[in-house]
Chains A and B, each alone.
Chain A
Amino acid sequence: MSDRPVRIAQITCGAEYSGIQNEITSAAATVGAQMFYPDVALKDVKTAYKEFGLPVKSPDLKLAIARAKAIVEGRIEADGIFIASCFRCAEAAIVRNELRRYIVENSKIPVVSYSFNERTSSSTLLTRLEALSTIAKRRELMAREVQVGITMGVDSGSSTTKCVIMKDNEIVGTGWKPTTEVLKSADDVIAEALAESGLKMSDIEAIGTTGYGRFLIGKHLNADLVQEELTVNSKGAVYLANAQKGFATVIDIGGMDNKAISVNDGIPGSFTMGGICAGASGRFLEMTSKRLGVDITELGALSMKSAGGEDVPMNSYCIVFGTQSLVNALAAGYKPEDVAAASCHSVAQQVYEQQLQEVDIKEPVIMVGGSSLIQGLVRAMGRMLKTEVVVPHHSQYIGAVGAALIASGFVEKKRAEKKEA
């Protein structure tokens, strides 16, 4: 791809009237992408939605259908598609989901769907648009299947910071700690990983950063790759699960938001990331372990002592009401292991209802991130999806592994430049 900006087609209903159009445009500009409205003629609008077969009443949704059809049928070119509509609009939610499915089934264009309200900011949209842009712009890098040289990946998440050092396709050093000060946490995990690997910073040939603190740490380390966690995590997941060919679904239940990514041949096709409410995230499991008086690392083993906890009333849709049901369950005399399992079941249920409805689940289903070490959560997700969920080794380091793997795409070029110099 040339240096022209990545062109992302905007297929939205209500964005301009919600006052967030500027947020969408700004987020796109930050990642070097350009939003555009696909132009369609009035006659095309009339025929397109009739052909599509979904009898919607809102004209803007009819227009959305016509725009999606024009792209899929090749009359308009786009590098990525952003479908969004107002949060709480049922008619738009149906259209959004069906259009996403239609685009995924009939084209290879990456697509993300989202529901917004007036409080949606450009920072919320940034990761999603960056992922769309990355898939379009860095297809070659994303296709990398083997790590070469000595590379480092740093993942600055909302809860924890991780570092991985890889050498000749092997993980040789790891570092992990809760995120406090972003740069300090990064420096600490880097020191930990370097000590374990027996390498020095000067031995590192390329660095990749990801996660919420990626820009700050990327600048601090002069990283070769600064990339959002959606594409990096999915790359790391299929690499570690040895599922780089064919389809896979990656689920990452994070500390602040959840991600579900549909991957084909190692490259993400469609994805969703926790939207308006962050209720059902890893944070709820942290609160559960705190309330039960166990460390988060012990929650998995505790929950596995229970048959599943499905009979314990628990709802993590909202973190406040979820905590209330946690307190109620304990007060009603349920055993801690059943409450732990019920919390896992509830989070899995919310992820299933909120995220997994927006991607096409294809096996293998790979769970990654720190929460994948909570066995009760993996079991609950497997039961929900009626499949054996794969948890690869080093799954808690997934972002760092993905960043180290993708960053190795820069090694050969840097070696050649060094030789010439």
Chain B
Amino acid sequence: MVKVFIYPATSLMLSDLVARYGHTPLGSAVSIREHIQTPGFDSPPLQMTAEDPQKGLKWAAVEVPSGIRGRMSLYGPLVEEAEAAIIIDEPELSFGCMGCARTNELLCFMLREKDIPRLELRYPASREEGVTFVAQIKKFLDDLKKEETA
């Protein structure tokens, strides 16, 4: 079982595919669940506080907007933990929406910098492309499993 970072991190479809083919998806569900289940905070809806953008300083400098640093405090630890990554370029909003384009650029860069297996795909524009898209993801995930057992 490999820990696979998914981009967009909010994509339920990607998360489901990764889990279905036997791996652990790393995405928003993991980091946000941890936040909203932490007792004692009272900062709905995400239960993030001013401390989170400060934690984000590990991945983004102080002159980087606070919203990016706050997001990095959620995703930075997951990128560090990731053993593989799937990046979908130009995804539809309904496929997974991550809010901030600058955070997205930084996240994708960090994943590309990391020496881990990575699959990068364009978001499909037709049904046929969609079938190929899923097949490519399946093959990538199967190969991860083979590498793991080899």
Spell out A's residues near B (CB within 8 Å): 13-22, 42, 45-46, 56-60, 62, 85-89, 91-92, 116-119
> What chain B residues lie within 8 Å of A91 (beta carbons)?
101-102
A278 to chain B, nearest CB (A): 19
Give chain B residues whose Cβ lies under 8 Å from the Cβ of A21: 43-46, 48
Q: How far is the CA of A186 from the CA of B56 in the complex (A)?
A: 45
**A57 near B42 (CB under 8 angstroms)?**
no
Q: Which of A22, A45, A92 contacts B44 (CB 8 A)?
A: A22
Q: Select the stretch in B63-71, B106-114, B125-133 that faces chain A.
A: B63-71
A14 to B60 Cα, complex, angstroms: 15
Instruction: Report which residue of A17, A58, A92, A117 has the largest number of chain B beta carbons within 10 angstroms of its beta carbon.
Output: A17
Q: B90-111 toward A: CB 8 Å interface, digit per residue (1/0)? A: 0001100111111000000000
Q: How far is the CB of A305 from chain B (nearest CB, A)?
A: 41
Contacts of B27 in A (CB 8 A): none
Min CB gap B83→A, angstroms: 26
User: How many Å lie between the Cα of A86 and that of B102 in the bound state?
Assistant: 12
CA distance A406 to B124 in the complex (A): 61
B49 interfacial by beta-carbon distance below 8 Å:
yes
Task: Flag if A59 contacts B67 (CB, 8 Å).
Answer: no
Closest B residue to A121 by CB, please name it: B50
Give the nearest-CB partner of B45 in chain A. Answer: A16
Q: Which residues of A contact B100 (CB under 8 A)?
A: 13-14, 17, 58-60
A1 CA / B147 CA spacing, docked (Å): 68
Not counting A14-B100, A17-B48, a sample of 14 additional A-B residue pairs whose C-beta atoms are within 8 angstroms of each other reads: A14-B66, A17-B68, A19-B66, A21-B46, A22-B43, A22-B44, A42-B93, A59-B98, A59-B100, A88-B64, A88-B65, A89-B65, A91-B102, A92-B65
A18–chain B nearest beta-carbon distance, Å: 4
Contacts of B98 in A (CB 8 A): 59
Cβ-defined contact, B43 with A118, below 8 A: no
The answer to the question of B142 belonging to the interface, with a C-beta cut-off of 8 Å to chain A, is no
The 25 listed contacts between A and B (C-beta, < 8 Å) are A13-B100, A14-B67, A16-B45, A17-B46, A17-B66, A17-B70, A19-B43, A19-B51, A19-B53, A19-B70, A20-B50, A21-B43, A21-B45, A46-B93, A57-B101, A58-B99, A59-B101, A60-B99, A62-B93, A85-B67, A86-B65, A87-B66, A92-B65, A118-B52, A118-B69
Residue count of chain B within 8 Å CB distance of chain A: 30
Q: Choose from B46, B52, B63, B102 the contact partner of A58 (Cβ within 8 Å).
A: B102
Total A-B residue contacts, Cβ distance less than 8 Å: 101
Are A89 and B67 also in contact (CB < 8 A) when A19-B53, A21-B45, A22-B43 are? yes
| Minimal Cβ-Cβ distance residue in B for A116 | B66
Q: Which residues of A contact B46 (CB under 8 A)?
A: 16-17, 21
CB-defined contacts of B99 to chain A, threshold 8 Å: 13-14, 17, 58-60
CA A350 – CA B31 in complex, angstroms? 41
Q: Which residues of A contact B45 (CB under 8 A)?
A: 16, 21
Q: Note all chain B residues with C-beta closer than 8 A to A15.
A: 67
Which residue of B53, B93, B94 is within 8 Å of A17 (Cβ)? B53
With A and B bound together, what is the CA distance between A15 and B51 in angstroms? 13
Interface pair B67/A17, CB less than 8 Å apart = yes
With CB as the reference atom, state the residue of chain B lying closest to A62.
B93
Task: Tell me the bound Cα distance from A18 to B42 in angstroms.
Answer: 14
Known: A17-B48, A89-B102. A42 touches B66 (CB 8 A): no
Name the residue among A14, A45, A85 with the largest chain B CB count within 10 angstroms.
A14
| A17 cross-chain contacts in B, Cβ below 8 A | 46, 48, 52-53, 66-68, 70-71, 74, 99-100
